[in-house]
Amino acid sequence: MSASTLSMFRVKAGQIPLSRCGDNPRRENQREPKLFVGSLSAAVSKEFFEENQISHVLSIIWNISVNLPEDHHAHHLIVKCKDHPTANILEVLPDCINFIKTAIGEHGSVLVHCASGVSRSVTVCVAFMMIESNFTVGDALRSVRSARKFANPNLGFKKQLELLEKCNGDITEAEKMYSMLNYDIMEDTAQQREKANDIHARVDEVEIRIASESHESKAQATSQELLSLQDQLHSSLSLQSIDTVAKIILKSALTKAERLLESIQCDGI
């Protein structure tokens, strides 16, 4: 991991734009409501609390302690949920959404956090935006990522968010659908990683051929194959529900395919 990547990851929390969330007008002397998504480090930081006037904290955790700064005077709700693809986050959403909605309605500054600020807290914030402002999963996730670059719900949570979207933000209906869903998340994860490894291997094979390519016609065929693989990679990466590890493998393959295409062009073939 590069130094710049580490620096971004160490950011305690980011503020999510609330331009479309909620319809409670702000009076002249009331402060602007704020929604932050982040990691445990934000929840224990006195500096973060004071700088952002945090009034509400939602902790979505499992087997870790949250010691808010002394004299914080913030409303605090702890919700138990594992960050695992098989965990049912839909069942804790009502309490989470109501807490955030109340905080925003009171023009407070609310921090939603989990351990790393990547999966659970992001899922809850995405769901809040979907329910309160009719965002799609994709639009809500992009908005959250504008505040938290590493926002990436696990594959199981993404599937549940998709169900929530299908049910027009009705958590009860989404949970009913989820309970009846004959879906093996672990098998899906394994299949995605296998397919990602397969396409990466195909790009690797092309790289070996390019090293020994001598005829223009063969190089042209190789270029067409790379373009086809590039299209497949873009298609795979555009899927809404994609496993994190599979995504890393696919991005690596895409980077290599783009580099190989550039090398062919630079050679004047």
Alpha carbon dihedral 169, 160, 41, 43, in 10-degree steps, equals 40
**In terms of DSSP bridges, do strands 13-16 and 34-38 run parallel, antiparallel, or are they unpaired?**
antiparallel
Q: Which of 113, 126, 118, 133 lies closest to 48, judged by CA?
A: 113
Catalytic residue among 21, 81, 114, 125: 114
The vertex-95 CA angle with 103 and 137, nearest 5°, equals 85
For residues 235 and 233, what is the distance between their CA atoms, to the nearest angstrom?
5
Known catalytic residue at 114: yes
Q: Which residues contact 44 (CB under 8 A, 6 or more apart)?
A: 66, 67, 68, 69
Collapse the DSSP code of 34 into the 3-class scheme (helix H, G, I; strand E, B; otherwise coil) and give the result. Answer: strand
Backbone CA torsion sign across 154, 156, 158, 161: negative
The helix/strand count (H/E) of the chain reads as 11, 5
Q: Which residues contact 196 (CB under 8 A, 6 or more apart)?
A: 236, 245, 246, 247, 249, 250, 253
Q: How many angstroms separate the Cα of 90 from the Cα of each of 124, 143, 175, 228, 233?
A: 9, 21, 6, 39, 31
Place of tokens 């496993």: 243
For residues 112 and 36, what is the distance between their CA atoms, to the nearest angstrom?
6
Active-site residue numbers?
A: 114
